[in-house]
A and B are shown apart, each in its own frame.
Chain A
């Protein structure tokens, strides 16, 4: 693969990382800790929302994030022809 292509591939990878890690930070440190008191005023069934994010929601989002990353990267690898045969 040429130098230029590699740079482009890496840039796209870093962009995905930044977006996914922003969500990672937002659901856990944001909704689960910093904004929890505020979100607790909203109810999700029997759960106060901030409490739900801290003890349930953040973990579900973590799992989804990894599988989204797997999909994105598999597509990106194929697009730049660097996937494993």
Chain B
């Protein structure tokens, strides 16, 4: 069978599986719809969190990014995993003890204020929506390239699938589908990595393999360093000219942002107990780490393979995949010195080859000559990654509208049935809205992902931490802190992102900090403002102080929503 047929078969089978799970896991109440009934086992929640977390970007783009960045790519690896330590130690157990449905729930009750709840609600929708549009685009691209349907058809298929299981099953359907999606995506990511590791360094474990030796006896990384330096690039493994200050700040912004993202936090409301919330965060990181430790291995294998395949080789002898990617203009070759050979070098004037780094994961199995079914599997994995993340984000948006806006603000007397219907309608609207934006993505989508992390770090993370660890924190402090932190971050990112129309240039960066890393500064400003303002205003009422005492100890954790 050829790649095309394999892709139809494997992608079709996984979709049948997702739909089957959705039918089995229908939601019958708001509690099931918002937090899967609060009865998800820590292991299942860990798997679902991992799938929820790993988006099309982690799956398709990250290894490619690292293979072109070398050492500096570690900012994504550490940044997107380190946040889970913060989640497990500082947030998850306490939020689970608090036992409500959403992040704005916590903010609203801890800070006894509708304004605080509304600010949190707006941040949650803003963060989640910018994120989900990117996922939808990823789904469209993957379908378009491999099923050879138009981009728009690809997105419509994606919308139909997500629509089906998100509207029907809510959090319950999404959780169990994500468990299946994790299995698909991790299998699809590791299988080619193992094959390639065996081929290049005869070691079946890629994590160890990229520290191993090639058939000629040299260490793979030494060889890669040598090849890179010969072509004028920096050494792959050294921080060289990499900007250390920015690596520090970007890593930190991604970590604190991860810990503040509502679609991740809400997952810890679904387990039965406080101790389950702690354990579940551990499982989640373990499952994420499997992909995140394989990705840098894939990156160095791919980089070595690529250089050896193309550098100084005749263009006429390039393998099939090279020409296929040329057709989609993701590889471009221009024979500047007309010698018929490919010069791939760091020097821009002499370099003849431009490679889109996003193709590395998809092209990798082809570069390594793996069988067709492996390539089809990688495509199914990419779709699983994009769909699972999109579903989790859409649920946050829907919950924010039906629970935080309708039930808690506009229509407090709405019945459980009415609220469930409202939740279903809002998720349906959100899915379609995201799909439409995915069809006509505003040019700045890629840029706003940085914004999502920066905003989460500068808004939710400090507000929640202070709500738990500082009993004296009151609504004046928290609300002022959030507003100042968010506006500072927004303005800095807008000002220094020409893609968003900002007038700033890199020379003007404060202390040389890139917009991607500014969320940490926003977070620190939020913390300081909140503490100062709270100490100048009245202490929170006694019942709120009691609430804080109560969430600090595990005993007596009610199932979520029981106090409603």
Contact = CB atoms under 8 A, between A and B. Distances in A.
Nearest to A80: B553
B551 to A, nearest CB: 11
Interface string A1-32: 10000100110010001001100100011001
A55 B237 CA distance: 10
21 contacts: A6-B553, A17-B89, A20-B85, A21-B85, A29-B251, A33-B247, A36-B71, A36-B239, A37-B238, A46-B210, A46-B211, A50-B239, A51-B71, A51-B238, A54-B77, A55-B296, A58-B81, A66-B282, A73-B278, A77-B554, A83-B554
The interface centre, meaning the residue of A6, A37, A59, A69 with most chain B CB atoms within 10 A of its CB, is A59
Given A48-B238, A83-B554, A21 B279 contact: no
Contacts of B74: 32-33, 51, 54-55, 58
Nearest to A52: B211
B78 A66 contact: no
B341 to A, nearest CB: 30
A42 interface: no
B476 to A, nearest CB: 25
B220 A84 contact: no
B248 interface: yes
A17 B210 CA distance: 34
Interface stretch (B10-18, B286-294, B327-335, B349-357): B286-294
A6 B255 CA distance: 30
A36 B84 CA distance: 23
Given A54-B77, A54-B78, A55-B74, A66 B85 contact: yes
Interface in B230-289: 237-239, 244, 247-248, 251-252, 273-275, 278-279, 281-282, 285-286, 289
A33 B78 CA distance: 10
Contact of A84 (B212, B251, B274, B292): B274
B553 A66 contact: no
B322 interface: no
B282 A63 contact: yes
Most B CB within 10 A of own CB, among A24, A36, A74, A77: A36
Given A17-B89, A62-B289, A1 B553 contact: yes
Contacts of B213: 46
Interface of B is mostly: helix
Interface in B513-564: 549, 552-557
B463 to A, nearest CB: 19
Nearest to B72: A54
B211 A45 contact: yes
Contacts of B85: 20-21, 24, 62, 65-66
A contact patch SS: helix
Interface residues of B, number: 51
Contacts of B239: 33, 36-37, 40, 50
A83 B275 contact: yes
A66 B248 contact: no
Contacts of A77: 275, 553-555
Contacts of B279: 70
B78 A58 contact: yes
Task: Across the A-B interface, give the 6 residue pairs with the lowest CB-CB distance, nearest first.
Answer: A46-B219, A54-B74, A46-B211, A66-B282, A55-B296, A51-B237
B226 interface: no
B71 to A, nearest CB: 6
